[in-house]
Chains A and B, each alone.
Chain A
Amino acid sequence: MATPLVGYLLVAALLFAIGLAGALTRRNAILVLIGIELMLNAANLNLIAFWRYGPHPEALTGMMFAIFSIAVAAAEAAVGLGLVIAVHRHAQTTDLDQINRMKG
């Protein structure tokens, strides 16, 4: 049977694929952002899992990386959703198939 680390890494890979599928297949801009958040979270799960089963967990490297990554993801979500709201005000839609011009 697989080791615990492989189980966590497989869950993270599956989560990343689900987030990527959501970001690539959905029409709504907010759903694309949700997919990106899921991918960032999958990366965080990888970092924490390697920290837990790595040779030097007391050095806290993986844990710190994950905490900083959480903070960066929060900033990204705030700016991204602000952009979606601004685009919606301008184009009256969040449907990415209809937003196909950079100008006007």
Chain B
Amino acid sequence: MDFVFWLLAAITVGGALAAVTLRNLVHCALALTVAFGGLALLFLNLDAQFAGFAQILVYIGAVAILVVFAILLTRSSETPKDGGVFSRTWFTGLVIAAGVFAVLGGALLRSQAGLPHDAPAPAVTVQQIGTALMGRYVLPLEIIALLLTAALIGAVIVARHEKEGTE
């Protein structure tokens, strides 16, 4: 519960809030990148170096760029002229989200005593992670490779522009 944790938590939550409330979608993408960066720093603060750097590479390096590309390709950066950026049923959505947070937070605060307390930092090296990925977790790794290949091909097929009469 130190100062660094609260600073990173504030950056992450502030970025996430800005990402879902700002009107201009390019600003939203930038705020989303800030939130991803804050999360990566939280991972590093949790002594999960590999996950933190994977988060930076995958989310800031790939997903944020992909979101920016999608925003520019669909010209969504222009704010809609008719009314706001929120849906007609925004109030219901807000109530549902607040209810979910109330349930999660209430359950957390009530089960505080059962949760583990401060633990010494685990001494886990990247070499151990690699050994585990090649040993015990080799089947999930292969499945992830297959999934990523399928997603790559699927995304290209879905987004491909089919000209009239080329069937």
Give the B-binding residues of A (Cβ under 8 A): 1-11, 13-28, 30-31, 33-35, 37-38, 41, 44-45, 48-49, 51-55, 57-58, 60, 63-64, 66-68, 70-79, 81-86, 88-89, 94-97
Q: Please name all residues of chain B whose beta carbon is closer than 8 Å to the beta carbon of A70 when the two chains form the complex.
A: 51, 54-55, 58-59
A26–B87 contact, CB under 8 A?
Answer: yes
- For residue A6, give the distance in angstroms from its CB to the closest CB of chain B: 5
B58–A60 contact, CB under 8 A?
Answer: no
> At the interface, yes or no: B13 with Cβ under 8 Å from chain A?
yes
Within 8 A of A (CB), among B108-157: 108-109, 112, 115-119, 121-124, 128-129, 132-133, 137, 140, 144, 147-148, 150-152, 154-156
How large, as a class, is the contact surface on chain B?
Answer: 35 or more
Total A-B residue contacts, Cβ distance less than 8 Å = 252
Main DSSP-derived SS at the B contact region: helix
B119–A25 contact, CB under 8 A?
Answer: no
Task: Report how far A45 CA is from B117 CA in the complex, Å.
Answer: 17
Cβ-closest chain A residue relative to B79: A28
Contact of B70 among A23, A57, A85 (CB under 8 A): A85
